[in-house]
Chain A
Amino acid sequence: MARATVMENKYNHVTPGKVVRIVVLIALLLFLAAPLLWQISLAFKGPKDDMYAAPYLIPVDPTIDNFIQVFNRLPILFYVCNTLIVAALNIGGNIISGCFAGYSLALLRFKGKGLVIGLLFLSMLVPGETILISQFLIIRNLQLQNNLIGVALPGLVSSMNILLFMNAFNAIPREMIEAAEVDGANIWQRFWRICVPQVKGTMALVGIFSFMGSWNDFLWPLIVLTDDSHYTLTLGMSRLQGTFVSDPRVVAAGTIVALIPIMIFFLVFQRYIFNGLEAGSVKE
């Protein structure tokens, strides 16, 4: 806060330092955004645009034909639906399991709590790559290979999210819960009416990151899903590469289509995402 005031005083008028900083930032922005700009440009280039001449940004023969081609060649909406199913299961599973387990660990007293928390931390130390194949064997034994349930199942509960909820429940003032007890609220009422509404922020955070996680997940669906009858969006998109589609304009259009929903989601929930990450409470 103090820093902000210093900066305001300092930057109320234009100084050479400020100009240099803005120029540097714009240069960095162009550098970081260049791949995306190039993609947008490619996506709108038509057949009269020379793909092999010197690169230029503004299409000579602008067209939306590439987008139509993407939708014709790939069942994108079907892929999106599949991804949304996995994402919905993931969000629901993580919020529900996090609420129950977090509440119990934070506010109820029982023997073996230390052991439970220890197990949670232990499981967080295990890298996903180490257990990748063993998880796959479980899914295979459950006959859930090539099934969206199989994609979602291992991620429905996460130690990290349970601990996040535990922290959130811990932060509720005890007086509030005691007052409810005095008024005769039973445990379920205390949980559902008093405590759960207090952790809405954590719910939003866990929901948002579960969504982004399942939207972008690649390695696990790649292992579970064996043919394109259940492909999620990332897997469907990965087919754009290589021999399936050789025209870079169509590939570009495909990536733009895949990016738009998650970009909108990001812009809408940006404040939550930034605050959540800044709180240092969310793993990648």
Chain B
Amino acid sequence: MAKTKTKKRGGDAAAQGVDPRSSGRIVPWLFVLPPILWICTFSLIPFFNTIRLSFTDSTLLKPGKFVGLENYVNMFTDRRFQTAFFNSSLYVVCIVPFMVILPLMLAALVAEKTRIMNFFRTAFYTPVIMSSVVVGLLWTNILDKDGLLNGTFKALKWISTPIPFLTDRWLLLFSAMAVTIWSGLGYYMLIYLANIANIDGTLYEAASIDGCGGIRQFFHVTLPGCRVTMILVMLLSSMSAFRVFGEIYMLSGGSGGVGGADLTMTMLIKQEGTGINARTGYSGALGMVMFVVLGCIIGIEWIVQRRSED
């Protein structure tokens, strides 16, 4: 682009005054600077502040002083941290296989571009648009001691005392996982659908001529065709599983289970970092652990993807 004749001029003057074939030096920055400053203020600076906080013993009310790695060392003996880290990790391990396989099967079932399949697609996606609060309330009425499940089991005389879906340490965690799967299926289904739409149609034609039915077409055409997307879904679902908050918060009534046995990392960060006794330093260190773990997940997924492309 041609060199500009403008030197320093303010907003509109610069816009009006420049050589029409160029935009000057100032206008591009005028357009881009406010949003960038915003991102810095609310995302990058807080990130560096979190790093700084994680090395201090600061609380909400006092700035605190540098304590080195004390926060990180303390984690190893903090029962709540161990519980939260374990729960969040277990969440990833248990959920990801379901999130990778089930939505792919759903997508393969509803891939046709017909009106009836469009109806099913919409219906399967519906749970995704619900907030975790609404989802939590819905499922509390299902899993409660007088809820739909216990009521049904009682009516069928399978049980005499209600199953403690929402109070038992393990049942609560697994219930929350079921809820997460229920509410996430549609989202990943849609990602797979985009992939399936791009699979060469002649492959299906050929498979069909070779006498492959729907199920064999799934295994021989759809599944191999979606390999890269499966890795993407693995990445997305494992990250969101490690960050789980709403489902457990709602199902446990905000407490994180009896004695905090069902805390997750996000819940712990929130509990440590807010309230009058907030330990912002320690909470910052927890946030950094979160950052490192999610970074590792991205790294692992990246390696897997490169391997599968070779």
Contacts and interface: CB of A to CB of B under 8 A. Distances in A.
Contacts of B18: 186-187
B12 interface: yes
B243 A129 contact: yes
A104 B31 contact: yes
Nearest to A238: B133
Q: What is the interface residue range for chain A against chain B?
A: 35 or more
A216 B42 contact: no
A242 B205 contact: no
A216 B197 CA distance: 29
Interface string B14-47: 0110101111110111011011101111111111
* Residue of B32, B44, B121, B200 contacting most chain A CB atoms (<10 Å): B32
A131 B287 contact: yes
Interface string B247-285: 001100110000000000110011001100010100110
Q: What is the interface residue range for chain B against chain A?
A: 35 or more
B66 interface: no
Contact of A35 (B114, B124, B132, B142): B142
Contacts of A25: 109-110, 120
A116 B295 CA distance: 22
Contact of A130 (B15, B193, B236, B290): B290
The 10 closest A-B pairs by CB, nearest first: A2-B201, A54-B155, A134-B46, A3-B201, A133-B273, A104-B31, A216-B131, A110-B28, A278-B194, A131-B46
Contacts of B250: 238, 241
B75 interface: no
Given A1-B201, A3-B111, A3-B201, 8 more contacts: A3-B204, A4-B113, A98-B35, A123-B40, A126-B43, A130-B50, A132-B270, A133-B280
A238 B20 CA distance: 56
A90 interface: no
Nearest to B138: A35
Given A4-B113, A52-B151, A153-B42, A242 B253 contact: yes
Given A17-B213, A186-B15, A126 B44 contact: yes
Contacts of A128: 243
A38 B125 CA distance: 18
A236 B94 CA distance: 31
A192 to B, nearest CB: 10
B180 interface: no
A6 B27 contact: no
Given A109-B28, A133-B283, A184-B20, A251 B137 contact: yes
A78 B24 CA distance: 48
Interface in A24-38: 24-25, 28-29, 32-36, 38
Contacts, number: 297
B42 A154 contact: yes
Contacts of A280: 191, 194
Interface string A91-115: 0000001101101110011100100
A172 interface: no
Contacts of B46: 131, 134-135, 137-138
Contacts of A215: 131
Contacts of A3: 111, 197, 199, 201, 204
A186 B20 contact: yes
A126 B47 contact: yes
A234 B199 contact: no
B294 interface: yes
B185 interface: yes
Nearest to A137: B280
Contact of A4 (B20, B112, B283, B284): B112
A32 B182 contact: yes
30 contacts: A6-B204, A10-B208, A28-B106, A29-B120, A34-B148, A38-B148, A51-B146, A100-B31, A101-B31, A103-B31, A110-B23, A113-B28, A123-B40, A130-B291, A131-B49, A132-B287, A133-B284, A138-B41, A138-B46, A162-B35, A186-B15, A218-B133, A219-B270, A237-B133, A238-B133, A241-B137, A251-B140, A266-B126, A274-B125, A278-B193
Given A10-B208, A29-B120, A212 B253 contact: no
Contacts of B34: 97, 100
A157 B28 contact: no
Given A238-B250, A241-B140, A266-B126, A5 B42 contact: no
A3 B153 CA distance: 45
A157 B182 CA distance: 31
A55 B153 CA distance: 10
Contacts of B35: 97-98, 100-101, 157, 162
A181 interface: yes
Nearest to B268: A129
B304 to A, nearest CB: 18
A131 B187 contact: no
Contacts of A137: 46, 49, 280
Given A108-B28, A131-B50, A123 B109 contact: no
B123 interface: yes
A262 B250 CA distance: 20
A157 B38 contact: yes
A10 B1 CA distance: 57
Nearest to A112: B29
B122 to A, nearest CB: 6
A277 B194 contact: yes
